[in-house]
Amino acid sequence: MSAPMISLESLTSTTTMNQLLATAKSGACTSSSCGSSAKPDDFDPAIWEKIKDHPCYSEEAHHYFARMHVAVAPACNIQCNYCNRKYDCANESRPGVVSEKLTPDQALRKIVAVANEVPQLSVLGIAGPGDACYDWKKTKATFERVAREIPDIKLCLSTNGLALPDHVGELADMNVDHVTITINMVDPDVGAKIYPWIFHDHRRYTGLEAAKILHDRQMSGLEMLTARGILTKINSVMIPGINDEHLLEVNKWVKERGAFLHNVMPLISNPAHGTHYGLTGQRGPQADELKALQDRLDGGAKLMRHCRQCRADAVGLLGEDRGREFTLDQIPGEVSYDASKREAYREVVARERGDHVAAKKEAIGMIKAAGSIGTLSFAVATKGGGRINEHFGHAKEFQVYEASASGISFVGHRKVEQYCRGGWGEEHALETVIAALEGIDIVLCAKIGDCPKDQLREAGTRAIDDYGYDYIETAISALYAEESGAEPLTATA
């Protein structure tokens, strides 16, 4: 299509530096400022500058950039009913879970090792496994070391908010420009059902009193961050029967106090996790319940729909976790930072993004010009870069898009068991993948075999691999136009 095919893949999978730099320099434009043309129309330029490389704050950026979390802050000052602090498993992927706690010095070594190997790395976050603001000395020591070594890395943290008002000044001084606060309630009566206790001002508080203090501190922390121009994301855990309806109210409160983004995540609840909710049978929401609530919240504080609820030691693009490649025992005692890979990658991304934005614009124009045919849903297998570049059988998740007369929107993702391992497909895995794709009209992937394609068709989903390596929006608009127009879709199948 329109893109010069200097693929991001060739950058991220390449092994030699010369190859990488040759790829980076092969394009026409080498100006680092050309990335600004990638700014979507709906953002203020100053805000776009802050979020354009942050995968968690910009859906658009999450196709290109990676984050890493370092688990330097294990201490916490509140107990949540969805959290069990004893839990630790390398196979679990969810917030608060971590396998290896690090000192600030160990964290620096790990961050440098990752920055040398993962060119997409743009953000360092501290997300516990406890609370980054409560375990402040370690958080601060880590940020200071990293900022000295890799000055262009973005620093961000996530907190329950209780200790946040004590550190907003220092956060601003250290140029931390993204903070996530987990806010599950704005009514202490609701809070008392979520938080059995808090530790504050050298005392343990319980019940309503605890929830009231937490609420007051969360709101004042948020207001202080907004006053300093620090972008805030509010994470809310959707707990059916406890705070699901109430999150509409939460959305209103945080929007009024300047929150940039609201991320509603499903409660993950399982007796084996040993959490209070897990043990008492509190269920998490179904995917459709979550989406229905997110749809009702649209129009309030801007919603984040691309969250993958990652671990407190995750490394990589949001859909992947390369944490296990970078455990301490695999990192040499001395590592020094080499900026070349990250710089080369950024140059290519800057160019690629401008092209992607142009392709997107064209795609949306095409959809708007086509007649309305209701909403079509797409599940896309992608490795990043905003392209359809993953084989059906290799996908561990599908990104879900909806196309309607109003345009194309990213609405979420569906995690699946990898169907193809070592060259052949596993029947059982295929069944679970098909179940996970229920309700999807069209699957887009780089390649798919005849057998899974037929089984998907029987389940009511068309799988199309004719648009392999195209931009996601380009394929969606072409199919949408085709569907609405004279030609039947079968012409492309």
The residue ranges that bind other proteins (CB under 8 A) are 74-77, 79, 85-86, 101, 130, 134-135, 137, 199, 202-204
Which long-range contacts link 36-45 to residues 24+ away (Cβ below 8 Å)? 37/353, 37/354, 37/357, 38/350, 38/353, 38/354, 38/356, 38/357, 39/357, 40/357
CB of 139 to other proteins, least distance (A): 12
Measured in residues, the chain has a length of 493
- The encoded tokens of residue 237 equal 């855990």
Of the pair 196, 407, the CB lying nearest other proteins is at 196
Of the pair 81, 251, the CB lying nearest other proteins is at 81
Of the pair 199, 469, the CB lying nearest other proteins is at 199
Of the pair 19, 206, the CB lying nearest other proteins is at 206
The pairing of strands 203-206 and 197-200 is antiparallel
**DSSP letters for 20-33:** HHHHHHSSS---GG
CB of 138 to other proteins, least distance (A): 8
Of the pair 86, 148, the CB lying nearest other proteins is at 86
How distant, in Å, are the alpha carbons of 312, 314, 372 from that of 272?
19, 22, 47
Q: Give the span between the Cα atoms of 161 and 343, in whole angstroms.
A: 35
Give the H or E element holding residue 156.
strand 154-159
Of the pair 85, 462, the CB lying nearest other proteins is at 85
CB 199 within 8 A of CB 217: no
Q: Give the span between the Cα atoms of 152 and 432, in whole angstroms.
A: 42
Angle at 113 between CA 112 and CA 118, to 5 degrees: 100
Of the pair 43, 87, the CB lying nearest other proteins is at 87
CB of 135 to other proteins, least distance (A): 7
CB 159 within 8 A of CB 182: yes
